């Protein structure tokens, strides 16, 4: 009786161990490729490109005759200054003018007065150092504040003479004599310069 029970217990243990070994082997074995569901790749999204824009027609070549003319920039700064300065006078001696630069000298702002004095002073320094280009620029700036200043006008004429700009110097000296005919030594120097230019123009080449 005892032996029979022992055989039954051994048989049951064998059956259970066989089931466990089979279950473990089935778990570790690779899956059957025939039983797997194939992976479906994600769909490829194709973005439609817009059609190319039509090319614009070639721009017509403009008629050169219809283009606006370029402004005349050939004039020197001195010529432009004299153009603004030249008045329309009823009497050249009395200087009864109606297009002289407007503005009462007494109404000039203090800042403008300081700028005028600074430009004149720096222009004198440049002239003394023979930097005549710098002096020309500074004297022109000074005359923009005081177009009727006799000292700045005469110094600019001298500077143009030093630069060899005879036409501009002649015009400035003549303008100086027209406006300040009795201004002492500077009037005599202006007349002397004009006489020199006259002799230069009549000298045979």
pLDDT in tens, 105-135: 445 468 889 999 999 999 999 999 999 999 9
Angle at the Cα of 64 from the Cα atoms of 60 and 70, rounded to 5 degrees: 130
Please, which residues bridge with residue 89 across strands?
97
pLDDT at residue 76 tops 80: no
Domain ranges of the chain: 110-202
Give the chain's mean pLDDT: 73
Q: Cα-Cα-Cα-Cα dihedral of 3, 5, 9, 12, to 10°?
A: 110
Average pLDDT over residues 60-70: 52
Extract the tokens encoding 7: 């055989």
Average pLDDT over residues 156-170: 94
Q: What predicted TM-score, i.e. pTM, was given to this entire model?
A: 0.52
- Fold category of 110-202 in CATH: 1.25.40
pLDDT at residue 157 in the model: 95
- H/E stretch holding 201 reads helix 185-202
């Amino acid at each position: 009786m005892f032996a029979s029970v022992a055989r039954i217990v051994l048989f049951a243990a064998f059956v259970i161990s066989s089931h466990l070994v089979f279950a473990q082997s089935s778990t570790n074995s690779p899956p059957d490729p025939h039983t797997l569901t194939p992976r479906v790749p994600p769909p490829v999204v194709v973005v439609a490109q817009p059609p190319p824009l039509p090319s614009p027609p070639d721009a017509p070549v403009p008629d050169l005759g219809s283009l606006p003319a370029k402004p005349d920039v050939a004039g020197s700064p001195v010529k432009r200054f004299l153009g603004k300065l030249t008045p329309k006078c009823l009497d050249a001696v009395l200087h009864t003018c109606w297009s002289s630069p407007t503005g009462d000298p007494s109404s000039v702002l203090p800042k403008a007065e300081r700028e005028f004095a600074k430009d004149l002073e720096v222009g004198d320094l440049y002239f003394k150092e023979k930097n005549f280009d710098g002096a020309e620029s500074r004297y022109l700036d000074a005359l923009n504040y005081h177009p009727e200043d006799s000292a700045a006008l005469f110094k600019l004429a001298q500077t143009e003479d030093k630069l060899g700009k005879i036409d501009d110097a002649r015009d400035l000296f003549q303008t100086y004599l027209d406006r300040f005919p009795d201004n002492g030594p500077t009037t005599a120097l202006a007349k002397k310069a004009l006489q020199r230019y006259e002799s230069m123009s009549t000298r045979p080449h």
